[in-house]
Chains A and B, each alone.
Chain A
Amino acid sequence: MSEEPLFDPSLKKRKKKQVAFHEDPLGADADPTTPAPATIDDTTTNGDVVDMGPKTAHELMKANGDAGDAANGAEGAEKAEEDDLKAMFGDLKKKKKKKKDIPLDLEGDVSGTSTPIAAPAAPAAAATEDLDFSDMKKKKKKKVANFEAFEKELNDAKVKDDEDEDVPDGLPEEIDEAELGDDPFATGAGGAGVVSIDAGAEPWLKSDRDYTYPELLQRFYLQLHAANPALLNSSGKRYTIAPPQLAREGNKKTIFANVSDICRRMHRQPEHVIQYMFAEMGTTGSVDGSGRLVIKGRFQQKQVEHVLRRYIVEYVTCKTCKSPDTLLTKENRIFFLACESCGSRRSVNTIKTGFQAQVGKRSRNRTG
């Protein structure tokens, strides 16, 4: 959308640098599974797209996968990719340019979403997405959900992320290892749907056709997750918290009933959460006998939820790995957030109540 003009110059530059690199694999594989023609038309109509197309990380990945198929027969996906890269470089001079259109539809999506997320920003988005209160009820029921459903959900989520990220991926510097690792997740799921491939039961074993990229990709991820089961749990788990239960007490006070429950879920001291909420909402209040929080002022559930969400982003989720599995400790008057899953440790902002304007009667203030 509005960002595209900004991106253009860099894209052009990129093209000059990388044209040979990208086109080689495409030319080399001449893959029957992914025919190019229709897409070429699209790309030519708008020049920008042509430039961007082959440069996205996942395009690159895809190209790699295809070339890998052509080059090495039965090797694992990972290996194939590496070899592919080498083959690519070797073939560089011989190959003719060919365009691939895969990113096109993605671009359409991106223009729809209108929020291209740069690589550093993406985690934040993911984090906010993770904190989904609305899903809470569904989640509760599903707690016993089996592994497959879980994985499917995960894939879906990844697809969404991927579509968002794709435009920035087209930009120069961002094709790094992490991106390559992340991106294909989405494409695999999107392209192939969920095809269950067990080790040793790959569909291509019976025929001597070429492997499709999604198949190999799936194989790669199956192996990856088989080797590290922890990956699934850490990356796919959405962090959910019960929605705050609010009730009005009288006309001017709001009761936040399940604050202690929420604090327990977040593994935070209620005092800290309450302090943050009061500072953010610019109000005061107290905790009554049954552990409920009485907030001065009228607040709706949505508003409190919003504040909690920000609390979670700032004081619960690890800034490095997004894991909510963190500990908040105080040392020398500074709070530190230590992540249990990735081990990172960083200081967090102290909660400060800012300027409070005079609200209400002045005379009351003077006496109190």
Chain B
Amino acid sequence: MNVQNLAAFDPFADEGDPLGTDNDVGSQQNYIHIRIQQRNGRKTLTTLQGLPKEYDAKKLLKAFKKEFACNGTLVDDEEAGQVIQLQGDQRSKISTFLVEEGIPKATIKIHGF
């Protein structure tokens, strides 16, 4: 792009492109993100994003709902793909559940306060 051409910094032009795409450096793609959102009052919402393809989100949701005794839904997002939404703050429970199922802990990121 024009701006990049103008920039003085360009010792390794080849590197520029792969780094430029957001997916490569500092990407969040490999992580499973567990987030929390505040609703009204004391209510919260937990979202799980970035589940690897080999897991069936629908079945996982069913297991979650049964295990955590909460309701939940599966949302299709154009950016994030399939996202599991659960009622209440289920972050730590989700994390332990996933770890027990054999997902490496390093790939799980818990966000929120």
Complex: A299 Cα to B37 Cα, angstroms: 12
Among B7, B26, B38, B77, which residue has its beta carbon within 8 angstroms of that of A355?
Answer: B77
**Chain A contacts of B16 at CB under 8 A?**
332
Among B20, B38, B85, which residue has its beta carbon within 8 angstroms of that of A283?
Answer: B38
Q: Are B20 and A355 in contact (CB under 8 A)?
A: no
Complex: A333 Cα to B7 Cα, angstroms: 12
Q: Are A334 and B26 in contact (CB under 8 A)?
A: yes
Q: Are B20 and A282 in contact (CB under 8 A)?
A: no
Question: A335 near B: Cβ within 8 Å?
Answer: yes
Nearest Cβ in chain B — how far from A10, in angstroms? 21
Which stretch of B28-36, B52-60, B61-69, B93-101 is in the interface?
A: B28-36
Complex: A136 Cα to B2 Cα, angstroms: 48
Question: A356 near B: Cβ within 8 Å?
Answer: yes
* Residues of B15-47 contacting chain A, CB below 8 A: 16, 19-20, 22, 25-26, 28, 33, 35-40, 45, 47
Most chain B beta-carbon neighbours within 10 Å: one of A304, A332, A333: A332
Nearest Cβ in chain B — how far from A165, in angstroms? 21
Question: B92 near A: Cβ within 8 Å?
Answer: no
Q: Are A282 and B38 in contact (CB under 8 A)?
A: yes
Closest chain B residue, CB of each to CB of A279: B111
Chain B interface residue number, banded: 20 to 34
**Chain A contacts of B39 at CB under 8 A?**
359-360
Q: Are A357 and B75 in contact (CB under 8 A)?
A: yes
Among A299, A333, A347, A349, which residue has its beta carbon within 8 angstroms of that of B20?
Answer: A333
**How would residues 340 to 356 of chain A score, 1 for a CB under 8 Å from any chain B CB and 0 otherwise?**
00000001111010111
Nearest Cβ in chain A — how far from B4, in angstroms? 7
**Chain A contacts of B40 at CB under 8 A?**
252, 360
Most chain B beta-carbon neighbours within 10 Å: one of A283, A347, A357, A360: A357
Query: With A297-B38, A349-B28 as given contacts, are A357 and B113 in contact (CB-CB < 8 Å)?
Result: no
Question: A148 near B: Cβ within 8 Å?
Answer: no
Interface size of A by CB at 8 A reads: 29
**Chain A contacts of B33 at CB under 8 A?**
354-355
Q: Are A355 and B47 in contact (CB under 8 A)?
A: yes
Question: A298 near B: Cβ within 8 Å?
Answer: yes
Closest chain B residue, CB of each to CB of A282: B37
Query: With A354-B47, A357-B75 as given contacts, are A349 and B111 in contact (CB-CB < 8 Å)?
Result: no
**Chain A contacts of B36 at CB under 8 A?**
282
Question: A113 near B: Cβ within 8 Å?
Answer: no
Q: Are A282 and B35 in contact (CB under 8 A)?
A: yes
Q: Are B111 and A282 in contact (CB under 8 A)?
A: yes
Q: Are A352 and B28 in contact (CB under 8 A)?
A: yes
Complex: A48 Cα to B4 Cα, angstroms: 61
**Chain B contacts of A333 at CB under 8 A?**
20, 22
Q: Are B26 and A299 in contact (CB under 8 A)?
A: no
**Chain B contacts of A355 at CB under 8 A?**
33, 35, 47, 49, 75, 77, 79-80, 83
Closest chain A residue, CB of each to CB of B50: A354
**Chain A contacts of B45 at CB under 8 A?**
357, 359
Question: A331 near B: Cβ within 8 Å?
Answer: yes
Q: Are B112 and A280 in contact (CB under 8 A)?
A: yes
Among A303, A307, A357, A360, which residue has its beta carbon within 8 angstroms of that of B85?
Answer: A357
B residues whose Cβ falls under 8 Å from a Cβ of A: 4, 7, 9, 16, 19-20, 22, 25-26, 28, 33, 35-40, 45, 47, 49, 75, 77, 79-80, 83, 85, 111-113
19 pairs, A vs B, C-beta closer than 8 Å: A279-B111, A282-B112, A283-B37, A283-B38, A298-B38, A304-B113, A332-B19, A333-B22, A334-B19, A348-B26, A350-B26, A354-B28, A354-B35, A354-B49, A355-B77, A355-B79, A357-B45, A357-B83, A359-B38
Apart from A299-B113, A347-B25, A357-B45, what 4 extra A-B contacts exist at CB < 8 Å?
Answer: A280-B111, A283-B37, A349-B26, A357-B83
